[in-house]
Structure 1
Amino acid sequence: MIIQLALDRFSIPEAIEIASGAEAEVEWIEVGTSLIKEFGVKSIYEIKNRFPNKTIIADVKTFDNAKYEFELCFNAGADIATVMGAAPMVTIETCLEVAKKYEKKVMIDLLNTGEDNRHTIQHLQDVIVCKHISKDQQEEGDRAVWDQEKIPSYQQLAVAGGISLTSLPELNKMNPDVLIVGSAISKAKDPGQAAKEIKEAWRKLK
């Protein structure tokens, strides 16, 4: 089981402080899209520098210019970078090529991905696929649910989108490898305790 702490809409020092509090209870730390957009790849570098033994995800959400963006992420210290599943397949394939060159990994975000791309992605090996309910959907009260379609055994499954203690039983049906948790940890009074409670509740479901 992997808990991925998503850090969004913070300053770099705030993100580091939150991650420090939850460090013992999370395996992966995500440098969120908003951090990268506001502060650039410096945010990736500083978080990897502070947490060198953690797997760092750069949630860059690449849609184009794949080689340039993925090289920026990996050179800044990211272990995994994200690409949108709705991107042209040449973009996704380029991300995979760059990741292989750097001996890193690719996470493919399936948000709003069409059937043709989904079919092709299903046949990719050694990738992480992320089933995702967007922030906008959450804030608008959208009753969207995670796609229950099974993934091949050679792919890792991550799930993201308003995950909290109350959503764990529903998520358990999907048997994900990675829980991407944002505000349930990052906005908690005690991020470490919040992460610990999620991890313990998840273990009880197994």
Structure 2
Amino acid sequence: MKIQLALDRLTIPEAIRLTRLVESDIDWIEVGTSLIKEFGMESVREIKKAFPHKTILADTKTMDNAKYEGEISFTAGADIITVMGNAPKVTIETCLEMARIHQKRVMIDLLNTSSEQLKSLLTMKDAIFCLHISKDEQELSGKNEWKNNEISAADPAPMHTIAAAGGITIDSLPKLLAGGIDIAIIGSAITKAANPSEAAKQFKQLAKGGVIINE
């Protein structure tokens, strides 16, 4: 399992400083939607410049204007962009085409995606699929089950790469690992931890199938 660090509600310097603390124990770096909305593509450029050897995901959550958003994201240094699963099919297909042109990848965020939409998406074998519990759902309803129609944490489609996001903790990670999740997207459990470096180490140990060793 890969660990994707989600950077949200930070300044660019704060995001870079924090990532340096945990760099050795995370695989992918997500430039969160909040950074992109507040600081634009400069956030992607600066984080790619700081971590050129890491896979950088720009969480654009594209719903429209896919050619433009794909172009500016990949040009800024993103290796992966996100598109919403409930976006028009042509938008998702355009994101995938832009990724092919730039030799990059696309993650489809399945938040609020219907069963009918999902059936169509499952034919897109080049995409990464993300099971996502929104921050609002976490805070207002306490939802913590990573399920989305036919794809779930317990039974992911074997031909696809599956990610999970939204309130993942040390306690919930083993369930995702047992369910065959390929990428755990972790934000505040690392970024808001008293000791981010130690938290990242613990997540990495579990992601490798190990146990937490407290020194």
2: CA distance, partners of 1:196 / 1:21: 11
Say which SS state the counterpart of residue 56 (structure 1) adopts: strand
Aligned to 1:127: 127
Q: 1:120-152 deviations in whole A, cap 9, x for unaligned?
A: 111111211000100011111333511127443
Say which SS state the counterpart of residue 165 (structure 1) adopts: coil
Aligned to 2:159: 154
Q: Which moved more, 1:168-177 or 1:82-91?
A: 168-177
Aligned to 1:62: 62
Q: 1:85-121 deviations in whole A, cap 9, x for unaligned?
A: 0101010000000000000000000000011210011
Structure 1 contact 82–107 (Cα < 8 Å) conserved: yes
Aligned to 1:180: 185
Counting matched residue pairs gives 205
Aligned to 2:86: 86
1:21-36 correspondence runs (5 A) = 21-36=21-36
Say which SS state the counterpart of residue 6 (structure 1) adopts: strand
2: CA distance, partners of 1:154 / 1:175: 12
Structure 2 letter corresponding to 1:186: T
Does 2:160 match 1:168?
no
- How much does 1:70 deviate? 0.8
Does 2:29 match 1:19?
no
2: CA distance, partners of 1:92 / 1:138: 26
Structure 1 letter corresponding to 2:118: R
Task: Give the TM-score normalised by the residue count of structure 1.
Answer: 0.95
The RMSD of aligned alpha carbons is 1.3
Structure 2 contact 174–206 (Cα < 8 Å) conserved: no
- How much does 1:175 deviate? 1.1
Q: Which moved more, 1:31-40 or 1:161-170?
A: 161-170
Aligned to 1:77: 77
Structure 1 contact 133–144 (Cα < 8 Å) conserved: yes
Structure 2 contact 2–182 (Cα < 8 Å) conserved: yes
- How much does 1:19 deviate? 0.6
Q: Percent identity?
A: 54
Q: 1:26-51 deviations in whole A, cap 9, x for unaligned?
A: 01000000000000000000000000
Say which SS state the counterpart of residue 171 (structure 2) adopts: helix
Structure 2: gaps spanning 5 or more residues: none
Say which SS state the counterpart of residue 83 (structure 1) adopts: strand
1: CA distance, partners of 2:59 / 2:143: 24
Structure 2 letter corresponding to 1:169: P
2: CA distance, partners of 1:134 / 1:64: 20
2: CA distance, partners of 1:108 / 1:168: 21
Task: Give the TM-score normalised by the residue count of structure 2.
Answer: 0.91
